[in-house]
Amino acid sequence: MTLHGTLILAALTRHGAYLAADSRSTGPELNSVQKVFQCGSNAFVGITGHLVARGQTIGAQGQVLCDASINIMEILRHFSSEYSGDGTDLVDRVTRRIYDFLAGYWMLVIRPSRDSFLASYPNVSEFCEIPILGRIGGAYNLVSIHFPLSADGRLLKPSVQDRFEGADENTEYIIAFGKPVDGEGIEADFRTSEGVLATMAALYRKAIAAHQDTVGEPIDIGFLDENGARWIATKLNLDQFPASRHEGPEAV
């Protein structure tokens, strides 16, 4: 059994950067999970993909040898509550922490019953993705940590992708992680916080309509600028977002 889903939106603007996540999970269906966490004074970390996994190792006589679960959300929550660094080591530490837990889970649960895992999750190429938004030395950075799986169900070494590569102080855009969202017909407004939130609300409404089983309100939104990291909103319903004052055909 696994909890999965998520749409995370990261926005880079001239007045700051945002990281937002929905609260839906499946297996069972919940609308209250947290998928983005403040990490220290200048970073946020999120989770998409498989949030929680549970499994058993069954012996030759049908007996349960191991009954285990792994909760990536709680691992990130615990790590974020303890982290007090300046962000320079954050990506490496998050990568090691998540991979160490996954490797142990794979050894105890997945490796002995890999055929069962492959039958339950065919064509799964990645267990989860961890976006990290930070500000180091006056510059914003956004990376995503990937935890890939091989075609035969092995846990592979994680990889890190720079998502703000080439961005400068004039760059403004939104990046989506997790479920795909169609930005056609939504005009991005980066001029103010209200405009960014209205743009995000429009994208989440589209994503929820397309992926009702895995994306849903309320929304958590973290904000980062020269004054550090802080929450703009936690568990905000879409009808509480600012209304967009601009409509047009330009896609995000």
Q: Which of 9-13, 21-25, 103-107, 194-198 is least confident?
A: 21-25
Residue 221 lies in domain: 2-240
* 164 within domain boundaries: yes
* 110 within domain boundaries: yes
3-state secondary structure the chain: CEEEECEEEEEEECCEEEEEECCCECCCCECCCCCEEECCCCEEEECEEEEEEEEEEECCCCCEEEEEEEEHHHHHHHHHHHCCCCCCCHHHHHHHHHHHHHHHHHHHHHHHHHHHHHHHCCCCCEEEEEEEEEEECCEEEEEEEEEEECCCCCECCCEEEECCCCCCCCCCEEEEEECCCCCCCCCCCCCCHHHHHHHHHHHHHHHHHHCCCCCCCCEEEEEEECCEEEEEEEEECHHHCCCCCCCCCCCC
Name the pLDDT band for 243 (thresholds 50, 70, 90).
low
Residue 15 predicted with pLDDT over 90 = yes
Instruction: Provide mean pLDDT across the span 73-99.
Output: 95
* 250 within domain boundaries: no
Given this model, what pLDDT does residue 66 score? Answer: 72
Q: How many domains does the chain have?
A: 1
* 178 within domain boundaries: yes
pTM: 0.88
* 245 within domain boundaries: no
* 246 within domain boundaries: no
The predicted-structure confidence for 196-238, as pLDDT tens digits, reads as follows 999 999 999 998 888 888 888 899 999 999 999 999 989 989 8
Mean pLDDT of the chain: 86
* 200 within domain boundaries: yes
* 249 within domain boundaries: no
Which CATH number is 98's domain given? 3.60.20.10
